[in-house]
Structure 1
């Protein structure tokens, strides 16, 4: 049977409550995003009180675990209620819950979602780009079926949104790419009135301004844009006036101009494009008319050519793709709707 000891100490100098639960246990398992702060072996003759004081004098420590048999004190940046201890033989351990400033909630929150500030404009199919100053630039999108030219900035330090200067052109279903010089390149999309766009513009975060840049050769929406290792931007496929496109083109930030490059083997929109570790671009799925695609192909920037690669197990459109740390590409979901996922 576990022996449970509850100790409440009022310490006026540090204004704290410490609760100690003694268990026969060897591990403290956390289930939030907080990490182990330190692992200290206390000197001979030390007791749980020494571990309590170690945690009390560590600003980021609301929880400590003391192992009585070897005088080890583990300190966590996490509320003890976010973890648990399990029975393990004859090892005695105590979980110490420490709260600085009575009544406060100075504890690390478990993983989860919290609401933040609302945008000034409701929008569907906008873009979001993380700038070098940490703010997030959101551009365009639909509102009530009308394409927007408005843009706004989210500040993570305050959770607030502020309006930025509007784009020169209202657009939705467009792309946004952060260039090596920190500017944001916005391309194509759909304008109000069903006009497909070949225009592109640049956002300068230092000036907070937009300037038009070179026009794409083909107007397109639901396309992709990928930044290559040489700094150029590869735009692929998309949709234009009931026609799905297999064309691709390159934007050169040094000249502000577009040049056509090799066509994809398959016309597609609503697809994904992922940069691989070898510099090639993997394009997956999408649709061509009412046909959903499971095909995938690779763009080689050294030769400006495309080559087909293995098909996905499932045909997908409007899906998502993420390059993982092990360099594989995770493809998830898609129309209509899918909960499957696969790795390339």
Structure 2
């Protein structure tokens, strides 16, 4: 048998080379079927050698016939045939552009939601059927998985889910659970982007795995302690904090005690500043108090409470003073949006990075909002309802931290302010609130991919301005 084909010279085409390789493989298979010895190379070895060769050619720019350009101007030189093995080009490639390289090279602008970092991983996987994810942040792994899921790149999706199961963390577990939940629903409905299986990954088993991880780590992630701080009684504004450990009854019951009542409220360290209408959230086991009203002014000051030391520490000030805003933690950062400043209702949004201790302004919401709800859901930050200065509305929008873009979402069935929104079992709930005339008891939920809110069972009582928590099933028998 003749030697295996060498890498073609510069004036050859990659199509001709691939055709020659296929002819060689067909000849080898024919010879082997006859029991004849062909070469020291095996088909598996040759397949791996081909991919390695193509990757080396891509790195040096040899024979690349396509340029992929992201919305931020970054580019990747690739071989189109290799990318087509990953998925059809019309799925994730945008419009063809005239190339400045040569008439044999085509340029494509990839879809806007594919970042340069995600594209780089996609290209790496297309060539080698693997890509380095171990040292990458969870946000990139999640973004890559979202892209693979959205465009039906099932082999890449399988690879990402296998990685997430092996390297699970709380942010990955929550995202992956919602992803597998949505995938399984889409598969059962025959959705086009879930038409093929996850190959060797059982998506039902993956869903169960991530759900179990969440349940096992719930206490570690949010603890069993409820904190109440700040506020006003109508006459004065407080900086006191109290805490109640709802885990005490469970520990007592485990130890054999019949007393399953919730533990007592305990006084904790006071905040540094008096404040009401304050925004708060939890990140990395610490409580954040953001902005608020001190009976004279809307404030910029923010502080952080560490339960291990029972101490509050001042952190960087907001860019804008605000009260009646809403905060949420997402992807290792804190987002605060909307609220009231001394002049008007805000639409601005700020993000806090603990590492640099600074607040940075990002793209504002499309609508000003106060007394609304923020939630981290389906890989995005959702802003829902609230008061825009004229009415209690039901409009919703969501922010993608990876692209920095807000998009409109399906509106609530019932406009409301001073309500609470939570995520539970992969779905988003809007609960209670005020409709401009009275408190309400209505509850709505939004399921990923449904495109609309659906009214579900109401609360037993009308409630507005309430607090809301999700507790593990172990705490259902408790009376709080």
**Where on the TM-score scale, by shorter chain, does this alignment land: which range?**
0.5 to 0.7
Please list the CA deviations of residues 242-277 of structure 1 after superposition, one character each: whole Å capped at 9, or x if unmatched: 410110000111012211111111110011212121
Instruction: Determine the C-alpha separation between the residues in 2 that align with 1:159 and 1:267.
Output: 40
What does 1:67-78 align with in structure 2 at a 5 Å threshold? none
1:166 paired residue number: 317
Is 1:118 the counterpart of 2:267 in the alignment? Answer: no
2:346 paired residue number: 197
Is the contact made by 1:237 and 1:246 (CA closer than 8 Å) also made in structure 2? Answer: yes
Q: Report runs of 4+ in structure 1 exceeding 4 Å deviation.
A: 32-36, 327-330
2:361 paired residue number: 212
Please list the CA deviations of residues 9-40 of structure 1 after superposition, one character each: whole Å capped at 9, or x if unmatched: xxxxxxxxxxxxxxxxxxxxxxx67969xxxx
Is the contact made by 1:262 and 1:305 (CA closer than 8 Å) also made in structure 2? Answer: yes
Is the contact made by 1:263 and 1:306 (CA closer than 8 Å) also made in structure 2? Answer: yes
Is 1:325 the counterpart of 2:477 in the alignment? Answer: no
Q: Report the TM-score when normalising by structure 1.
A: 0.60
SS at match of 1:197: coil
Is 1:262 the counterpart of 2:410 in the alignment? Answer: yes
Per-residue deviation, 1:127: 2.1
What does 1:174-185 align with in structure 2 at a 5 Å threshold? 174-180=325-331, 182-185=332-335
Task: Specify which structure has the higher proportion of helix.
Answer: 2
Provide closer, same or farther for how the CA distance between residues 35 and 248 of structure 1 changes in structure 2, counting only shifts above 3 A: closer
What does 1:1-344 align with in structure 2 at a 5 Å threshold? 111-132=263-284, 134-180=285-331, 182-193=332-343, 195-228=344-377, 230-277=378-425, 279-326=426-473
Bigger shift: 319-328 or 219-228?
A: 319-328
2:80 paired residue number: none
Instruction: Determine the C-alpha separation between the residues in 1 that align with 2:374 and 2:440.
Output: 19
Per-residue deviation, 1:175: 1.1
Instruction: Determine the C-alpha separation between the residues in 1 that align with 2:380 and 2:269.
Output: 35
Instruction: Determine the C-alpha separation between the residues in 2 that align with 1:241 and 1:148.
Output: 20
Per-residue deviation, 1:160: 2.1
Instruction: Determine the C-alpha separation between the residues in 2 that align with 1:147 and 1:299.
Output: 33
Instruction: Determine the C-alpha separation between the residues in 2 that align with 1:329 and 1:127.
Output: 27
Per-residue deviation, 1:225: 1.0
Instruction: Determine the C-alpha separation between the residues in 2 that align with 1:217 and 1:172.
Output: 19
Provide closer, same or farther for how the CA distance between residues 329 and 260 of structure 1 changes in structure 2, counting only shifts above 3 A: farther
CA RMSD across the alignment: 3.1
Instruction: Determine the C-alpha separation between the residues in 1 that align with 2:358 and 2:249.
Output: 38
Task: Specify which structure has the higher proportion of strand.
Answer: 1
Residue segments in structure 2 that go unaligned for 5+ positions in a row: 1-247
SS at match of 1:308: strand
Per-residue deviation, 1:189: 0.7
SS at match of 1:320: coil
Q: Report the TM-score when normalising by structure 2.
A: 0.44
